[in-house]
Chain A
Amino acid sequence: MSELQVVPAEMERLHRFEETAGLLKWITSVDHKQIGIMYVLATLMFFLFGGVEALLMRIQLSWPGMHFLAPETYDQLFTLHGTTMIFLVVMPLLIGIGVYVVPLQIGARDMAFPRLNALSFWLFLFGGLLLYFSVFYGNSPDAGWFAYAPLTEKPYSMMEGMSFWCVGLLTAGIGTVASGINFIVTVATLRARGMSLNRLPLFTWMTLVNSFIILGALPALNASQVMLLLDRELHTRFFNPTGGGSPILWQHFFWNFGHPEVYILIIPAWGMLSEVIPVFSRKPIFGYTFVAASTVAIALLSFWVWGHHMFAVGLGHWPDIFFAATSALIAVPTGIKIFAWIGTMWGGAIRFTTSMMFAVAFLIQFTMGGVTGIMFAVVPIDWQLTDTYFVVAHLHYVLFGGTLFAVFSGLYYWFPKMSGRMLSERIGRWHFWLTVIGFNATFFVQHIVGAMGMTRRVWTYPNLPRWAVLNLISSIGAFVLGFSVLIFLWNLWVSAKRGEPAGPNPWDAWTLEWATTSPPPEYNFREIPPVHGRRPLWDLQHPESEKNPKEHG
């Protein structure tokens, strides 16, 4: 027990959060905790941009024949929205939380390469700002986040928007690859004594697996962005059919990145749930090995499914069948996780904190996004529904109802560690319920309107039976959702200032990040508890579990 009070009081005073809060300290920081927090703050800023873009689009779509936005504005908005949310919000947010949490979870002093870590962050931030600079430059990218050639080639996109898209994401992408390397080396070399790979906390495990996917996938994107940039600026012909290039080649390259990317956007979120659900169910994860191994299976399979984004291209039945098979297979390890989390809750003593509520909502909403994903793996269904609002609904159920719900869960869980103060549970309830209502109102109806024939990326649509009212519901839902985000920001703000002090381990959790003060001192740990199993702090409280081989992994 005594080892829990690892930090003497005077050391604690020396390293108060406030003392390191000067702006210059932040900008020059190579401390993973400060960099992690800067990631979170920067992504929140981009999240606001992306959210406002979404709301503007929803106003335009709230009724057929609206003239709120000009078509070219609408096109820029949906491109910026998709690009922002994927590249400047979800991916860096997951990386940022990883940068904060992973070294703590493995009992390390910092990331393996602290300066590289800072470089990754600044590349991401300035890559994002470069993309947004296009707005002031007079023309933002307008060809959708997957930038299909030849629409993105110079003859069809004369303005510089798409070049900004290439260069901005290229910059951020280099940072992402560096983060991937950094995570891998950190986990490989800096684990506390006794923490073998099969005792890794699952969030760290999934971040590790994710880093390998990043290393495999991001270069495919960045290389094709270079090619597109060459096509645009130096008149090469990679994707331009008039000079012997192929637009389909772009699609292969892009989705060869794009589908692994989908998993990059979800795997760390699964890791968060695999921390939150056991702690609030007061039970270890159900089937650690299956959860860990299924993540590896997904990582391997994720590089073999890209063609399911291209069923409508008409590659032929055999390629379609191949990609349908791999896509169906990848659903199995995903299902394993859902059931493992339910199994964890089974027989537990569940505490419904806001964090846990987001985790529970994730289980249902992510399943809904998952089953529509399976529908898209069924080739003939995809032949009808791809590029309709059914896809828009599907991807938001996965990325918002899935990833972002898990991130909310994770932030409610780790905010006390990061700030030393608890987020308000009372505001948290409001945030939770408004998010659930707003989210489902916005996106559920989009399944229906998509199957009724509404395609995505249209700034206006015909007044066919029921289309108007369904779109109106979706738009109202979007504003409820927007409001819930404001409540969340409010919660962050007031709780950071006046929240209840958290203490080192407010949730009575088991992994190493809770074995130090909140926020941790610059050097993280004064003393690291011995690691004999997957739940070191539990072992400290239950010396008898020493004899339980299952606890050891």
Chain B
Amino acid sequence: MHPPSVFDPHSAYAWSIYHLTVVVTILMGVVVLIVTGLVTYVCIRFRERKHPGPRLSYGNRKVEILYTALPLMLLASIFGLMIRNMDASDPIQRTRDNIVVVGHQFWWEIRYPGTGIVTANEVHIPAGKPQMFGMEAADVIHDFWVPQLGRKMDMVPGYHRDVWLAANEPGIYLGRCSEYCGKEHAWMRIRVFAQTPANFAQWEADQEKIPPIPTTGDAADGARYFTTMTCANCHTIRGTSAQGEIGPDLTHLASRTTLAAGRLPNDPADLANWIKDPTKYKPGCFMPDLGLTDEQVRDLVAYLETLR
């Protein structure tokens, strides 16, 4: 798992920003050193005790022009580097979106326009292939930020933005919402799974399937509960009558590794805890505590676990 560090680039875009950051940081470090050095020298050399008689001077035009011109040149060269760098960090040519991410208070809707796949909170991409991400928001402003893969991009309601992201090698990349969006902003995290093309194709094939509705056992009861109780108002499970759009698509819930944008690991016990009382784990989230009995929860979990 790659923590969301700026200093751990894994795509050409992130590398390009990383290089620029390192160069500018070094230059700026030198500026700080020069100023600190000058200040220290002056403080030691011209203390009253060492240097009791001040020299009367009102300035020196040459020096003044020098300390205007030198910073100007430094800044101009940084500006030049920046211009050269921008298109490499964030190419402006666009293609059709491979993936559209929609920020919701406090989870991510992830759509693959090419295949019609819809999932949530965990993005799968083929490693080594640049992906055109579309960014949208359903309610307030969010920001999609996975620094290892490229720049961040605000998601502003009413606007569509595009940004190129990629991962050179397979792996799990951690990111998060980077624009304050309300009470559970802290629990609005992202995981990007970069997979080898073969694995990604397999994942796509699995996601495109519609899971069968179980007909026996607890899971069958769970499936019934799901469509007859309020769950269906908010969640979609393809192949059933549940077509709600307020919460994440659960068609392949069991194929995800975490629940509720990284709040809980996705295992039967935590899933049961979540369904029983979501606001205990994410007090600001928009899934209410539905007052289910333990038995109903058990059945629902049994059903949701079949959604591979």
Interface residues, chain A, with chain B CB atoms under 8 Å away? 70-72, 75, 143-144, 148, 150-151, 156, 241-242, 246-248, 281-290, 312-314, 317, 320-321, 324-325, 328-329, 331-332, 335-336, 338-340, 342-343, 345-352, 360, 363-364, 367-368, 371-372, 374-375, 378-381, 383-388, 451-453, 455-462, 464-465, 550-551
Contact = CB atoms under 8 A, between A and B. Distances in A.
A-B pairs, top 8 by smallest CB distance, nearest first, are A453-B4, A241-B158, A383-B151, A287-B59, A371-B28, A458-B186, A347-B55, A339-B67
A178 B177 CA distance: 40
A336 B68 contact: yes
Nearest to B158: A241
Interface residues of B, number: 86
B55 A314 contact: no
Contact of A380 (B3, B16, B56): B16
A342 B17 contact: no
24 contacts: A71-B183, A71-B184, A71-B186, A150-B141, A151-B181, A248-B159, A282-B54, A283-B57, A286-B60, A287-B64, A288-B59, A314-B153, A339-B67, A340-B64, A340-B67, A343-B63, A347-B46, A348-B46, A348-B55, A375-B28, A380-B90, A383-B151, A387-B152, A451-B7
A332 B51 contact: no
Residue of A288, A332, A338, A459 most packed against chain B (CB within 10 A): A332
B240 interface: no
A372 B141 contact: no
B168 interface: no
A150 B48 CA distance: 58
Contacts of B89: 380, 383
Nearest to B76: A328
Interface stretch (B29-37, B242-250, B297-305): B29-37
Contacts of A284: 56-58
Contacts of A282: 48, 54
A363 B154 contact: no
A151 B152 contact: no
B153 A312 contact: yes
B6 A384 contact: yes
Nearest to B18: A384
Interface string B41-66: 01100111001111111111001100
Contacts of A342: 35, 38-39, 42
Contact of B43 (A320, A324, A339, A350): A350
Contacts of B143: 312, 387
Interface string B260-281: 0000000000000000000000
Contacts of B145: 387, 455
B54 A71 contact: no
Contacts of A72: 183, 283-284
Contacts of B201: none
B48 A453 contact: no
Contact of B154 (A313, A346, A550): A313
A349 B86 contact: no
A48 to B, nearest CB: 25
B199 interface: no
B290 interface: no
B3 A313 contact: no
Contact of B152 (A329, A348, A374, A384): A384
Interface string B64-77: 10011001100110
A283 B178 contact: no
A332 B68 contact: yes
B254 to A, nearest CB: 24
Q: Is chain A's binding surface mostly helix, strand, loop or mixed?
A: helix
A375 B159 contact: no
B21 A384 contact: yes
A360 B43 contact: yes
Interface in B63-120: 63-64, 67-68, 71-72, 75-76, 78-79, 82-83, 85-87, 89-90, 92, 105
B209 interface: no
B163 interface: yes
A460 B176 CA distance: 13
B203 interface: no
A324 B86 CA distance: 12
A338 B37 CA distance: 13
Contacts of B140: 148, 150-151, 156
Given A75-B183, A335-B67, A247 B152 contact: no
Contact of B68 (A290, A320, A325): A290
A110 B277 CA distance: 65
Given A148-B141, A378-B20, A380-B16, A349 B54 contact: yes
Contact of B54 (A150, A241, A348, A378): A348
Contacts of A290: 59, 64, 68
Contacts of A375: 21, 24-25, 28
B36 A364 contact: yes
B126 interface: no
B91 to A, nearest CB: 10
A320 B58 CA distance: 40
A387 B178 contact: yes
B5 interface: yes
B8 to A, nearest CB: 9
Contacts of A331: 71, 75
B139 A246 contact: no
A459 B185 CA distance: 9
B63 A247 contact: no
B55 A283 contact: yes
B182 interface: yes
A150 B53 CA distance: 62
Given A312-B152, A312-B153, A349 B51 contact: yes
B186 A381 contact: no
B287 interface: no
B218 interface: no
B156 interface: yes
Residue of B55, B64, B76 most packed against chain A (CB within 10 A): B64
Contacts of A314: 135, 153-154, 159, 161, 163
Nearest to A334: B71
A352 B47 contact: yes
B73 to A, nearest CB: 10
Contacts of A289: 59
Contacts of B17: 380-381, 383-384
A451 B180 CA distance: 18
Given A281-B54, A343-B59, A452-B3, A387 B86 contact: no
B42 A350 contact: yes
A281 B182 contact: no
A343 B63 CA distance: 9
A463 to B, nearest CB: 10
Contacts of B82: 324, 378-380
B211 interface: no
Residue of A360, A379, A459, A464 most packed against chain B (CB within 10 A): A379
B46 A349 contact: yes
A371 B139 contact: no
B147 interface: yes
A328 B82 CA distance: 11
Given A283-B54, A383-B90, 6 more contacts: A71-B283, A143-B180, A282-B48, A314-B153, A328-B79, A457-B185
